[in-house]
């Protein structure tokens, strides 16, 4: 902490601009890579027209959306409607102020850490600032004067409350072992062993919570297009819509950087590179930090291209009935092991690894037992066998025309029990 607060004003300004540029470039790259990776997963091409390999597509989209007309619907609360995107995007950038990019380096002859600033409660600062960002989403939904945006704003409120509790509880084990809430101190405490190995359940809980916290698929309920049109930003256009998208991707970067800082050693080099002298010193540390952040960004993209959206009751039930109880139980176990094992680092490490494996096994056993008690909820009923040549167009309750190779049965019965005459495929197609 003594290395902070002594930089000249121009160096602070340079670091602040560097953080801002890093986040903006990361957002542009993330949008492009998300489209390319999901296209690759779905056997498509993706953007390939603007720039080499389509790499300028995100920049072109940004210019296009900035030049669009900004519409303000009638009936909105105009001051709040205009302020909501600002409230959403500013806290997303502010949270990165305490993220450590690297150790102390020399910039224009001044020794300074690759971090804008730090606090004794740096992690709590990130939680507080990112929580303010949800007010932008809530106010956007409320001020739009429309039903679907309002529902999206309410969903976002409940979502942040539910999953931020589990996220905060996953930090408790980190605080117990690091002995500090300072982000730079937590990175320094992982010099010998990363916390992902000691606190594997905390890491898994955090990864799940960070997806729910950022409203990303499969937890993107506040902007569920299939049921809420576009959710909280339905009535927004032009730059105001772009600000919500910018806030979403910056928040993704923030939670990814926080995961790397708290559980993956921050800017420290991974094995086997850590065995090389000076591998994580100087500007090399920035490389390892960026690689870890992009590993989590790829995880976001992978989940979006793989998993379907959850139902809202499933989503809330998972947060309150699974994540929070498991987090509380794990915190109690970590505190108990910390007291029983004492200061012996080797005993503490062994005990925590064993406890993590037992916790994972217990969760699997509980899940399997619940699935055995409710087989109907986890397995689909066996498919009915039928002759493809015989077709009843109203067997399922809805009139469906037959396929060319099918013919209707000689006598079919409607759902109300009334017999209907036989029809030919030509008659069915002609109505």
* Residue 229, phi-psi category: left (phi > 0), alpha (psi -120 to 50), beta (remainder): left
- Tens digit of pLDDT for each residue in 24-53? 999 999 999 999 999 999 889 989 998 898
pLDDT in tens, 378-389: 454 554 444 555
The model's pTM: 0.80
- Note whether residue 325 is domain-resident: yes
242-252 pLDDT, tens digit each: 998 899 899 99
Partners of residue 105 on adjacent β-strands: 112
pLDDT at 366: 66
Please state the length of the chain: 431
The total domain count for the chain is 1
Residue 417: is its pLDDT beyond 50? no
Ranges 23-27, 167-171, 292-296, 350-354: which has the least confidence:
350-354
Does residue 63 lie in a domain region? Answer: no
Determine the structural domain holding residue 112 and report its residue range. Answer: 70-375
Whether residue 202 lies inside any domain: the answer is yes
Please choose, from the candidates 245, 105, 223, 226, the residue with its C-alpha nearest in 3D space to the C-alpha of residue 155: 223
Identify the helix (H) or strand (E) that includes residue 361: helix 345-373
Instruction: Identify the pLDDT of residue 315.
Output: 85
Domain membership flag for residue 48: no
The 10 Å Cβ neighbour count of residue 378 is 12
SS3 state at 102 = strand
pLDDT tens digits for range 63-109 = 998 888 888 888 888 899 999 999 989 998 999 999 999 898 888 88
- Chain segment 116-163, per-residue pLDDT in tens: 988 989 999 999 998 888 888 888 888 888 888 888 888 888 888 888
More confidently predicted of 405 and 308: 308
Is residue 402 in a domain?
no
Q: How far apart are CA 1 and CA 188, in angstroms?
A: 12
Residue 368 lies in a domain: yes
Residue 49 maps to a domain? no
Highest mean pLDDT (candidates 105-109, 262-266, 280-284, 415-419): 262-266
In a domain, 383, yes or no: no
Mean pLDDT of 234-238: 86
Q: Which residue has the tokens 């982000």?
A: 183
Contact (CB, 8 A) for 299 and 207: yes
- The pLDDT, as a whole number, for residue 378 is 47
Would you say residue 420 has pLDDT above 80?
no
- Averaged pLDDT score across all residues of the chain: 82
User: What pLDDT sits at residue 375?
Assistant: 56
């Amino acid at each position: 902490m003594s290395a902070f607060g002594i930089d000249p004003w121009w160096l602070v300004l340079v670091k602040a601009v560097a953080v801002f540029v890093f986040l903006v470039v990361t957002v542009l790259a993330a949008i492009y890579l998300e489209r390319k990776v999901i296209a690759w997963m779905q056997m498509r091409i993706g953007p390939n027209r603007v720039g080499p390999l389509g790499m300028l597509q995100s920049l072109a989209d940004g210019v296009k959306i900035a030049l669009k007309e900004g519409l303000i619907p009638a009936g909105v609360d105009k001051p709040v409607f205009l302020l909501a995107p600002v409230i959403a995007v500013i806290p997303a950038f502010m949270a990165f102020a305490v993220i450590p990019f690297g150790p102390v380096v020399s910039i224009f002859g001044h020794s300074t850490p690759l971090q804008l600033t730090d606090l004794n409660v740096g992690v709590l600062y990130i939680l507080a600032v990112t929580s303010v960002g949800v007010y932008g989403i809530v106010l956007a939904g409320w001020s739009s004067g429309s039903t679907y945006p309002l529902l999206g704003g309410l969903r976002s409120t409940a979502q942040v409350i539910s999953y931020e509790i589990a996220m905060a509880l996953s930090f408790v084990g980190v605080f117990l072992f690091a002995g500090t809430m300072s982000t730079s101190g937590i990175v320094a405490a992982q010099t010998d062993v990363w916390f992902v190995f000691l606190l594997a359940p905390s890491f898994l809980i955090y990864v799940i919570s960070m997806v729910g916290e950022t409203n990303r698929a499969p937890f993107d309920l506040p902007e569920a297009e299939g049921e809420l049109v576009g959710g909280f930003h339905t009535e927004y256009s032009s730059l105001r819509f772009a600000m919500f998208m910018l806030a979403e991707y910056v928040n993704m970067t923030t939670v990814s950087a926080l995961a790397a800082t708290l559980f993956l050693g921050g800017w420290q080099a991974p094995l086997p590179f850590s065995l090389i002298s000076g591998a994580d010193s100087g500007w090399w540390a920035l490389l390892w930090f960026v690689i870890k952040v992009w590993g989590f960004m790829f995880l976001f993209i992978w989940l979006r291209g793989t998993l379907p959206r959850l139902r809202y009751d499933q989503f809330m039930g998972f947060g309150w009935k699974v994540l929070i109880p498991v987090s509380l139980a794990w915190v109690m176990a970590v505190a108990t092991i910390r007291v029983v094992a004492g200061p012996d680092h080797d005993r503490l490490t062994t005990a925590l690894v064993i406890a993590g494996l037992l916790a994972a096994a217990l969760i699997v056993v509980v899940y399997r037992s619940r699935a055995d008690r409710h087989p109907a909820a986890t397995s689909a009923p066996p498919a009915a066998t039928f002759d493809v040549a015989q077709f009843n167009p109203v067997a399922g309750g809805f009139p469906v025309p037959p396929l060319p190779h099918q013919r209707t049965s000689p006598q079919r019965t409607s759902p109300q029990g009334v017999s209907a005459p036989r029809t030919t495929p030509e008659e069915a197609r002609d109505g």
